[in-house]
Amino acid sequence: MKRNIFKKATSISFILALLFSISTFSQELTVDDYKLSFSFKTIKKFDNSRVLEVTFIGKNREDRKDKIPVYDAEIKFFNIVNGEEILLGTAKTSNEGIAQLILSEKQKYLTDSDGYINFTARFEGSETLDSEEEEILVKDLQLHLELKEIDSVKTIFVKAFTIDSLGVETPVEELDVIISIEGMLSKMKIKEGTIENGEIEFELLQNIPGDIDKNFTVYAQILDNDEFGDVIQKQTVNWGTFTKIASEDENKLWSEAAPIWMYIVLTILLVGVWANYVYTVIHLIKIKKEGKNLELSNKE
Amino acid sequence: MNIETRKRELVKEFSPLIEKTTKVSKIWMAILVAIILVGIYSFFVQLFKGHEVTGMRDNVVWGVYIINFIFFVCLSYSGAFISGILHFFKTPWKNSISRIVEIITVLSLIIGPIFILLCIGRLDRLHYLFLYPRIQSPITWDIIAIMTDLIGCFIYLYLTFIPDFAILRDHSDDAPKWRQKLYKFLAIGYQDTESQRETLHKITRTMSAMIIALAIVAYSVLAWIFSLTLQPGWNSSIFAPYFIIAGLYSGVSVIIIAMYLIRKYYHLEHYIRKVHFVSGGIILLILSLLYGYFTFSEYFSRWFSHKTHDTNLLNTLFTRYFWEFVFANYIGVLVPVVILFFKKLRTIKSITFASIIAILGLWLNRYLIVVPTLETPYLPIQDTRAEFVHYTATWVEWSLSFAGVAAFILFFILIMKLVPIIPMSGIIDNERSSKVKSTLTKPVTES
């Protein structure tokens, strides 16, 4: 029997998840059978807003495939400098165990002397779940994406730099960047390279399919970087091609008027048959006339 | 012998069949009329109370009426087909059975479509079919095909009757006046002159070819009414040839049964001989093998593809309709095959028995094509009553069905009262041609 120790919403949600987990049908599992994973990351988006994201899940210690999200857990996000904690906001984990806080472009952050921003995500714990905390240090990277056609060559320019407190731009070095194009379901990687001296340029492939207006969106992505976290920039450009998707022919038999060939075939068939009937009747009339003449001549 | 004398002799031979009605015949006709009257009563019950008095409901909107329609129409097409073949290829023994086939063709084509009218819920809107036809619809094609074929069959039947009407006109001096007048009118002045004979042969031959083509087209259109839908059990590319084979199978069977009855009750053993039954039996054997092959192919492909709705249909056939399925597709094929395959078993009675089994099997086969499919639709009809899902024909439907069969037999008897069932002109033609042959061969053998 499960221990009746979960009183708070977070604990109840976790235990409910346990109850309805498929693996619990075979044996009774407790919170202790799960190791909690609390991962934190930051993503700087193309509109310069910043997302702080925590993924909070329980992983079965024995069965790695058995993962249960911790949902409805309140996560507090802080910006900390020299022991001073500034609460940026709070968010609760979703059914997938993800808590997100979106900070606008206007949000100001405190940085340390090296220009790093300290973001801390904290779960203060419950009666059954221990408190969790994770911090990340990132610099605020300015990522610029420019698309230009130079001598008929479609080129992507990526610039990456940081700005210090005095407003001086410092180009970054040795930063891996991925160029991708937005597809229907996910981003399609087309190029990757390393930014040197704050710049890199790529030649874009020809004949990339676009939308109905020949537009497509190019992304420059810095992913999982120790210094900057995730940074994404995007631009939409009218360089694509549009191929009209061959739509299925309409079923002409469901239309108001039948296809012409049907009228023609039917007419030919009916005219052929009825012409034969007429031909037969004409000959019958001939037989009748001949009979009448014979009758008359016999009478005479 | 003089041809005119021979004609007089033939009229004398066949006139008892035409003019005299035996007591047995009268009883039979009275029974048939009684069955038809019950059918007419049922029709009025249905007309005033609506289709509620039938077993047809939301799911199964087609019942025994449509099955009878297919059965009779297929019978007609196969009759037309066989008749066309007999005439076109000048089959040597055709004379004894050609008129039976022709009468079957026309009568079944008159009675068959009546069943479709019984199926229509709103007969008052029937004329909409002609006012607003959709040329894309197989139903419209079928209406055009049936009407064209009916007129064609009438013309064809009439062409084959003309020489006999002329013989009867010229040699029925003892017949009642109305009959003499009727023969005179229908004979259209045919005097059996060389040119008239040639003209009549020419147009009959052309019409026979036309009838074969028409039968194939009309058969296929009838099959397409089913196979062009997506319903499980109907959506099949082999339905058109399958219907043609099944129709011929039923057509030949009905011809054999008719031959047996006419031979027995009208004592025409001299004209309808064992050779006709054996020839018909061999044709029936070939058709039963073909029909069995098509049936197997049809169900095997459905079973093998294992699509959900096809599987549901097959489950229904093997549970609810198990015995009907066994009779239609096993007994209805294998019994005729066994009887007709062995030479020793090919007697007149056994061949007729095989034909009866084939006919019953085929009628059930039609039932299994129509009803179980409608009972297992793609989309279940919501809130339908359990008793609405399954179909059982009511007494109204059965009485109208039997009335159709009775009308078919009664009209057959009445036509036999108008002209001899064995074409006299055919006998004369045969004798004339054999005479020509003998005169042609005489000098050669003598020299």
ipTM: 0.83
Q: Hey, of A276, A281, A286, which one would you mutate to test binding to chain B, going by the most B CBs within 10 A of its CB?
A: A276
CA A135 distance to own-chain centroid: 28
Q: So what's the pLDDT on residue A1?
A: 36
CB atoms B135 and A262 under 8 Å: yes
CB atoms A273 and B196 under 8 Å: no
Give me the DSSP letters along A225-236. ETTTEEEEEEEE
- Nearest residue of chain B to residue A295 (CA atoms): B189
- Cα–Cα distance between B409 and B33 in angstroms, integer? 10
Between A258, A279, A287, which is nearest B200 by CB?
A287
* Contact (CB, 8 A) for B357 and B336: yes
At A148, list the tokens.
């230009």
Question: Is A286 touching B (CB cutoff 8 A)?
Answer: yes
Percent composition of chain B: helix, strand, coil (DSSP 3-state, to 5): 80, 0, 20
* Tally of CA atoms within 13 A in the half-sphere of B34 that contains its CB: 6
Q: Smallest CA–CA separation between B293 and chain A, in Å? A: 32
Question: Is B31 touching A (CB cutoff 8 A)?
Answer: no
Radius of gyration of chain A (CA): 38
Q: Hey, of B160, B190, B201, B205, which one would you mutate to test binding to chain A, going by the most A CBs within 10 A of its CB?
A: B190
- Cα–Cα distance between B328 and B364 in angstroms, integer? 5
Q: So what's the pLDDT on residue A17?
A: 57
Please name the residue that has the structure tokens 């992304």: A219
Q: Is the pTM of this model over 0.90?
A: no
Residues of A in contact with B199 (CB under 8 A): 283, 286-287
Percent composition of chain A: helix, strand, coil (DSSP 3-state, to 5): 20, 45, 35
Q: Which residues contact B301 (CB under 8 A, 6 or more apart)?
A: none
CB atoms A287 and B214 under 8 Å: no
Question: Is B22 touching A (CB cutoff 8 A)?
Answer: no
**Pairing of the two strands A67-69 and A74-81:** unpaired
Within chain A, where are the H helices? 9-20, 260-299
Residues of A in contact with B162 (CB under 8 A): 287
Question: Residue ranges of chain B with pLDDT lower than 50?
Answer: 444-447
In B200-239, the residues whose Cβ lies within 8 Å of chain A are: 200, 202-203, 206-207, 210, 214, 217
Question: Is A268 touching B (CB cutoff 8 A)?
Answer: no
- Cα–Cα distance between B70 and B233 in angstroms, integer? 16
Question: Is A264 touching B (CB cutoff 8 A)?
Answer: no
Amino acid in the structure at residue B263: R
* Tally of CA atoms within 13 A in the half-sphere of B424 that contains its CB: 30
- Cα–Cα distance between B390 and B55 in angstroms, integer? 9
Question: Is A131 touching B (CB cutoff 8 A)?
Answer: no
- pLDDT tens digits for B100-142? 888 888 898 889 888 988 888 888 888 888 888 888 888 888 8
> Is B122 strand, coil or helix?
coil
Between B190, B202, B203, which is nearest A291 by CB?
B190
Other beta carbons within 10 angstroms of residue B437's beta carbon come to 10
Integer CA distances (angstroms), A141 to A81, A175, A226, B48, B58, in order: 19, 11, 12, 87, 70
Question: Residue ranges of chain A with pLDDT lower than 70?
Answer: 1-28, 249-253
In B135-154, the residues whose Cβ lies within 8 Å of chain A are: 135-136, 141, 144, 148, 151-152
Question: Is A281 touching B (CB cutoff 8 A)?
Answer: yes
- Nearest residue of chain A to residue B217 (CA atoms): A269
Torsion of CA A290, A291, A295, A300, to 10 degrees: 10
Q: How far apart are the first and last CA of chain A?
A: 124
